[in-house]
Amino acid sequence: MLGLAGALGCGDGPSPGADIPTGAAVDVSGEDGRAPIEPLATADEDLAPPAWPDWIERPEDWAAQHPVLSPNAKLESHLVQLAETRIEHDPADGAGRAWLAGVTPVDRAPEPMDDRGRRRPAVPAGSHQRFAIGFEVGPLGIREGGLLFVVADPFWDWSPAQTIDPLAPGHTTATTRAAGVVLEPDGPDATFRVTGRALDAGERVDIVYGAGPDGARVDRYAERGAEILIGVDADGDGVRAWLPESVQVDVVAREGAALRAFGPAELAPGAALELRLGLLDVLGNRARWPGPGDDGAGPAHARIRVTRQPGSTTTLEVEADGREVELEAEADGAMRRVIGRVAGPGVLRLRVEGRDELAGFVADVPPIVVREAARRLVWADLHGHSRYSDGTGEPADWFAYARDVAGLDAVALTDHDHWGVRPLAESPAHQADILASVRRFHEPGRFVTLPGYEWTSWLHGHRHVLYFEEPAPIFSAFDPETDRPDELWDALRGRPALTFAHHTAGEPVATNWRFAPDPELETLVEVASVHGVSEAADAPQPVEGGIPGHFARDALRRGYRLGFVGSGDSHDGHPGLAEIAAGRAGLAGIFTDALDRPALLDAMRRRHTFATNGIRPWLEVSLDGVAMGGELEASSDAPMHRLHVRYEATAPIARLDLVRSGHVLRLDPAELGLDAPDALALDLAREIPVLGPGEFHYVRILQTDGGIAWSSPIFARAPQAPIQRLRNTKKAAPSRQSAARR
């Protein structure tokens, strides 16, 4: 830590996060026709900046480089992680070899497991096990006073390894037969100090994780390669390093408890309809399909019955009602089948019922719109995490789940640049593995994968970065050259890329909207995820710790033109279906000319998107024919706009909110002309007063099941007034300018 202070420099200067006058960071003059910026509910300057910790000296240029932080910035988290990137390790730190000597279930009799093709032991999700681990000391040994660490996978639900209570789950012991050496517990966690003498190269330590009567609880989320980490601080200076490869097991799903079925969001008349089915346990883990024999040998298969549901206005060429379909899993476990061709224009609503071994399993397919259109709706989850940061599972399994179980059309795996056991920005091997999976699963026209990562700034808010072609470099939030949003955008300039602010108003870090979103690189904002809703303070399911003035609607009121998307930000290995375990989620509906990277980039730059909290309705909104996300000229000649909303719901419609520049008009089903209390479709044409220059308008639709959808705003501009960038007038200090970037 002392070395870090010297590396950063020191100085007295203003306090970190010292405020600046409103408007000094961005140009909000309104000269380009934008509406005047109304005072925010809570002004940034009224929020106290985080205190500078006393364990590190402040760099001289800090106040110039970061004059305003996010109101709930985690300054100490930033500094601790920055310190970790600069620590010098003892050569013996992180050295040695660990292996799994045995696994014993303690909460039930051993269950028959599908071990075919597995290189690691398999344990049921959420079970209690006792793990015997062997550790061989590395070639440089561990000095007397050195430390050995045992940490069960810290994400998400493993029992924490501990040495305090022998009767509690996760109790951990470490012993050695090396004469004269005693391993003494050092603190409440499973940390052991070498006493008596040094441990020499090749000497063995026996570790038991889950040594008590309840063993240790295994993660409730299924994943291959779940890790029990072994760390070594060979000289006892408080700086540890993890073994490159610790102990791994496969956590497998419980028995199937639910069926999910998905088709495309829309099709052209006469097109083939393919269904994708997934069998899931109670927490959304991908369960094993039933096989033809009691021993599970042979190809997995299923038989289903497909029926049309009320609200359908078109059919399959082979009538769906009562039709039974045989399916057989493909080599990768995917269960998908073309079941017919859709007829003329309309909406198709289907129910899938399991037969034979799947009797009692039922799944409703989200509405499928059949129409002739140049652009079609596709579903995307653009934000999620694997075990390479703070999530679950290997990248290949993450993409397979998104494609085969969740039935998505486009996805992006966005592990953190610096968060987790082995930071992605410092792990070329993990970067390469993710990119290999991106390439392997990318199939334009069928399933699009996007390279990406999360820029994890504890100072200015988190953003995920998506690339639409390779290379896909990581510009870290801990690199002084790219530790501010404007510097990140400068580094991305000229690349086919987009950034997305998320959980903008609350925990863990709110977005610092004093940095005006780049009009080319940040055209969208994520308003729904597992963190909750960041659209507005009056929205249902608000993000935890929401701070007035930092919701997405507040950013629109500042004059920023941002469309809306949702995405999961899932950490459980279930992209597209995060709501099963988390209870909250998000998805992005995108209207695109084609299912490929260039077309998706174009659609997202046009903001032709809508957001949901995990549901998959069909939503189209226009004002005077201008599609959501677009811009129209404000005019005093026409007294009214023509608003058109079409919505195909996944559950009965509870309410429609019209949101105009922060003002909300709520319309119940009767006011919408919906006679039936269980109406699933809305086709609304309504006149609204014209928007003035700088105003915006969008709709928010609520369903009776808690589902929510948001259209992207439509913006009004002054006639013939060019849209200008809200410029960032804060200039970086000369010492931080990058010649390469210039």
Give the CATH number of the domain where residue 490 resides.
Answer: 3.20.20.140
Contact 612, 708 (CB under 8 A): yes
The model's confidence at residue 374, banded by pLDDT at 50, 70 and 90, is very high
- 151 and 182, same domain (yes or no): yes
Position 110 scores a pLDDT of 55
What residue has token string 């995307």?
380
pLDDT of residue 499: 98
- Residue-level pLDDT at 636: 67
Q: Quickly tell me which residue has 């206005």 as its tokens.
A: 313
Contact 455, 475 (CB under 8 A): yes
Residue 297: is its pLDDT beyond 90?
Answer: no
- Residue position matching structure tokens 């601080």: 233
> Distance (Å, rounded) from C-alpha 719 to C-alpha 709?
31
- What's the whole-number mean pLDDT along residues 100-118? 67
- 428 with 460, same domain? yes
pLDDT of residue 27: 26
Predicted pLDDT of residue 47? 58
Whether residue 148 is found in the same domain as residue 225: yes
pLDDT for position 54 = 84
pLDDT for residue 676 is more than 90 = no
Residue 458 has pLDDT above 80, yes or no: yes
Q: Which of 45, 28, 26 is nearest to 514 (CA)?
A: 26
pLDDT of residue 30: 29
Determine, yes or no, domain membership for 578: yes
What's the pLDDT at 300?
82
Query: 733 in a domain, yes or no?
Result: no
**Paired tokens of 369:** 């719109």
Domain co-membership, 208 together with 134: yes
Which DSSP state fits 98? E
pLDDT digit string, tens, across residues 123-132: 999 999 999 9
In a domain, 685, yes or no: yes
Check pLDDT > 60 for residue 143: yes
Helix or strand (DSSP H, E) at 415 = none
CB 489 within 8 A of CB 482: no
More confident residue, 332 or 672: 672
Any alpha helices (H) in 381-498, and if so which ranges?
A: 395-400, 428-441, 485-492
**H-only helix segments in 42-101:** 62-65, 75-84
Same structural domain for residues 524 and 393? yes
Three-state secondary structure readout of 553-609: HHHHHCCCCCEEEECCCECCCCCCCCHHHHCCCCEEEEEECCCCHHHHHHHHHCCCE
Specify whether the CB–CB gap between 148 and 230 falls below 8 A.
yes
Q: From 567, 582, 616, give the residue that closes a domain.
A: 616
Choosing from 252, 281, 303, the residue where a domain stops is: 252
In angstroms, the Cα distances linking 721 to 629, 631, 661, 696 are 18, 12, 20, 16
Instruction: Name the percent of the chain lying above pLDDT 70.
Output: 87
pLDDT number for residue 55: 82
Residue 331 forms part of a structural domain: yes
Range of the domain at 219: 96-252
Return the closest-CA partner of residue 22 out of 729, 735, 740.
729
Burial annotation 43-75 (CB, 10 A radius, 16+ → b, else e):
ebeebebbebeeebbbbbbbbbbbbbbbbbbbb
Residue 721 has pLDDT above 50, yes or no: no
- Per the rule left: phi > 0, alpha: psi between -120 and 50, beta: everything else, 568 is alpha
Q: What is the pLDDT of residue 120?
A: 86
Sheet of 346-348, strand order: 266-267, 368-370, 346-348
pLDDT at 643: 98
pLDDT at 78 (0 to 100): 93
The CA-based dihedral angle spanning residues 650, 654, 660, 663, taken in that order and rounded to the nearest 10 degrees: -140
pLDDT digits (tens, 9 = 90+) for 427-437: 999 999 999 99
348: its two tokens: 């198709």
Residues 234 and 266 in one domain: no
- Pairing relationship of beta strands 258-262 and 346-348 according to DSSP bridges: unpaired
Q: Which pLDDT score is estimated for 108?
A: 66
Q: What per-residue string of b and e applies to 373-383 under the rule 16 or more CB within 10 Å gives b? A: eebbbbbbbbb
Q: For the chain, what is the total number of helices (H) and then of strands (E)?
A: 9, 43
Give residue for tokens 């791994």.
Answer: 248
Neighbours of 741 (CB within 10 A): 11
Q: Residue 735: inside a domain, yes or no?
A: no
The span from the CA of 443 to the CA of 447, in Å, is 5
Distance CA 726, CA 499 (A): 16
pLDDT at 206: 98
| Residues 587, 438 share a domain | yes
Name the more confident of 112 and 158. Answer: 158
Q: Is the residue at 81 inside a domain? A: no
- Who wins on pLDDT, 296 or 177? 177
As a whole number of angstroms, the distance between CA 214 and CA 259 comes to: 32
* CA angle (119 as vertex; 92, 190 as ends), nearest 5: 40
What is the Cα–Cα distance from 355 to 348, expressed in whole angstroms?
Answer: 22
Q: CATH number of the domain that 218 lies in?
A: 2.60.40
607/632 same-domain check:
no
| Radius of gyration, CA atoms only, the chain | 28
Whether residue 12 is predicted with pLDDT greater than 70 in this model: the reply is: no
Alpha-carbon distance of 466 to 446, in angstroms, equals 19
Reported as a single tens digit per residue, the pLDDT across 186-234 is 999 999 999 999 999 999 999 999 999 999 999 999 999 999 999 999 9
Q: What is the pLDDT of residue 154?
A: 86
Which range is least confidently modeled, 99-103, 110-114, 195-199, 728-732? 728-732
209, 326: one domain: no
Residue 431 lies in a domain: yes
CA distance 526 to 535: 8
- The residue ranking higher by pLDDT, 49 or 657, is 657
Residues 366 and 410 in one domain: no
Residue 714's closest CA among 588, 638, 620, 648? 620
| Residue 642 in domain | yes
Q: Is the pLDDT of residue 10 over 70?
A: no
- Average confidence score pLDDT of the chain: 88
pLDDT band per the 50, 70, 90 thresholds, residue 109: low
Alpha-carbon gap, residue 533 to 377, rounded angstroms = 22
Place of tokens 């795996």: 413
Report which of 192, 212, 28 is spatially closest to residue 104, judged by C-alpha positions. 212
Residue 35 to residue 29: CA distance in whole angstroms: 9
pLDDT, mean of residues 130-148: 97
What does 338-397 look like in DSSP terms, one character per residue? EEEEB-SSEEE-EEEEE-GGGTT-EEEPPPEEE---SSEEEEEE--B--TTTTS-S-HHH
Q: Rounded to whole angstroms, how far apart are CA atoms 541 and 589?
A: 20
Q: Is the pLDDT assigned to residue 529 strictly greater than 50? A: yes
Q: Is the same domain home to 345 and 452?
A: no
Q: What is the mean pLDDT of residues 23-48?
A: 36
In tens, the pLDDT along 16-26 reads 222 222 222 22
CA distance 39 to 717: 21
CATH number of the domain at 369, please.
2.60.40.10
The total domain count for the chain is 5
* pLDDT at residue 323 in the model: 78
In this predicted structure, what is the pLDDT of residue 48? 64
> 392 and 369, same structural domain?
no
Instruction: Compute the residue count for the chain.
Output: 742
Q: Which residue has the higher pLDDT, 385 or 120?
A: 385
**C-alpha 431: how far from chain center:** 17
Domain boundary among 312, 344, 373: 373
Q: Are strands 626-627 and 618-623 parallel, antiparallel or unpaired?
A: antiparallel
